[in-house]
Amino acid sequence: METINTALCSSGLSGMVFHAPFIDLHPGFKLVGSGERSKKLIQQHSSQGSYLGYYDAVYKSIVNNQPTAVTAEDGINVMRIIEAAIKSSNEQKVIALL
């Protein structure tokens, strides 16, 4: 499988706790960086850095009985989109998301 170099346009909360870790862990993508206006935080949320902030937020959601910033369903939907994008690229056609 060809690896797709990927960068985030920004790395706010969802970029840091959701997008960067999933892009980083998916074998078809390589997280190569992000565009940020101020603090360079993306390095903390890639294979070169730490996901401690993510797990701290999950812990706080559990102990405070509050929803997580990103749901499991959100994660599944993003993975479906990523897989459809790869299939679309490989087959050179539009792939419908169901």
Percent of the residues in the chain that have a pLDDT greater than 90, as a whole number: 17
Dihedral angle, C-alpha 34, 37, 38, 42, nearest 10 °: -10
* pLDDT tens digits, one per residue of 8-55: 776 666 777 778 788 878 888 887 776 655 555 555 555 544 556 667
User: Cβ atoms within 10 A of the Cβ of 90, count?
Assistant: 11
